[in-house]
């Protein structure tokens, strides 16, 4: 794939997961195969006329017409300072061939893939070999409105040789205990395939308010049964009001 439809390329801090607060550059691809109830980037779920490029929050944004060629994308990315790059969306795995084609031009960069964890057929050995961190969502029906947990299971099985995997589960005050336990059980199953993993419970953040209900108490009660790294972290970038 020589061209991609991109929503934005920007610099900020990582706002989710165990790398919260670390400076990152982000490339947000358009298009998604899911329609999650609490999606906060649904504006990027369909192709866009142009991509916004913002190297610093105080800069005036540039706009580049879509689709963007591989050569132009690498030229844009070369103007960013941070070593860390995050592929996000939408769903970046829909344009995984384009991402693979970027690899030769990203030597020395640290790469993260943020994915909904459903497109297992798009995982290739080249992706597994080059991506430094996989951030994979386990989509709970109470939050996403869809039941794709079996797709998540099969996706994770393809990451048995990945360098680092962060399994993330978004929950709300409406999430039943059974779903929280099911997500942890899936992570525990994956740990037997790849011990280089950690787990994050991420509460829904709505209008800068973290929504947990009684589920923080429930999580504290059930996590002691598992021997892998588990964190509870909100979307920090929303609280700090940054991109």
Pairing of strands 133-137, 110-115: parallel
Picking from 63, 28, 58, 69, the residue whose alpha carbon sits closest to that of residue 46 is: 28
Rg (CA), the chain: 17
pLDDT at 40: 81
Q: Tell me: the pLDDT tens digits for 182-225?
A: 999 999 999 999 999 999 999 987 766 776 778 889 999 999 88
C-alpha–C-alpha distance, residues 220 and 178, integer Å: 14
What's the mean pLDDT when you consider all of the chain? 93
C-alpha–C-alpha distance, residues 115 and 127, integer Å: 13
Q: Tell me: the pLDDT tens digits for 59-115?
A: 789 999 999 999 999 999 999 999 999 999 999 999 999 999 999 999 999 999 999
pLDDT at 214: 85
pLDDT at 16 over 90: no
pLDDT at 243 over 60: no
Rounded to an integer, the average pLDDT of 121-148 is 95
Higher per-residue pLDDT: 27 or 235: 27
Q: What's the N-to-C CA distance of the chain in angstroms?
A: 28
% of the chain beyond a pLDDT of 70:
95
Domains of the chain, earliest start first:
3-240 (3.20.20.70)
Contact predicate 165/199, CB 8 Å? no
Higher per-residue pLDDT: 118 or 35: 118
With tokens 């588990």, the residue in question is 230
> pLDDT category, 238, cuts 50, 70, 90?
low
Sequence-separated (6 or more) residues with CB below 8 Å from residue 47: 5, 30, 31, 66
CA of residue 183 relative to chain centroid, distance: 17
C-alpha–C-alpha distance, residues 176 and 10, integer Å: 36
C-alpha–C-alpha distance, residues 73 and 93, integer Å: 17
pLDDT at 17: 87
Rounded to an integer, the average pLDDT of 125-150 is 94
């Amino acid at each position: 794939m020589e061209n991609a439809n991109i929503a934005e390329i920007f610099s900020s801090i990582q706002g989710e997961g165990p790398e919260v607060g670390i400076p990152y550059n982000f490339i947000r691809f358009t298009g998604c195969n899911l329609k999650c109830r609490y999606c906060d980037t649904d504006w990027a779920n369909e192709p866009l006329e142009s991509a916004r490029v913002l190297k610093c929050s105080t800069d005036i944004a540039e706009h580049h017409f879509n689709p963007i060629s591989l050569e132009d994308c690498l030229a844009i990315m070369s103007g960013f300072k941070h070593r860390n790059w995050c592929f996000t969306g939408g769903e970046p795995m829909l344009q995984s061939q384009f991402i693979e084609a970027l690899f030769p031009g990203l030597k020395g960069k640290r790469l993260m893939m943020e994915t909904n964890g459903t497109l297992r057929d798009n995982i290739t050995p080249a992706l597994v070999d080059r991506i430094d961190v996989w951030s994979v969502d386990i989509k709970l029906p109470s939050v996403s409105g869809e039941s794709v947990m079996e797709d998540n299971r099969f996706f994770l099985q393809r990451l048995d040789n990945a360098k680092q995997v962060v399994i993330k589960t978004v929950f709300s005050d409406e999430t039943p205990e059974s779903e929280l336990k099911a997500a942890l059980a899936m992570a525990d199953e994956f740990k037997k395939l790849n011990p280089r993993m950690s787990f994050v419970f991420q509460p829904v953040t709505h209008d800068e308010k973290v929504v947990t209900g009684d589920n923080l108490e429930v999580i504290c009660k059930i996590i002691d049964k598992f021997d892998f790294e588990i964190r509870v972290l909100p979307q920090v970038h929303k609280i700090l009001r940054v991109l």
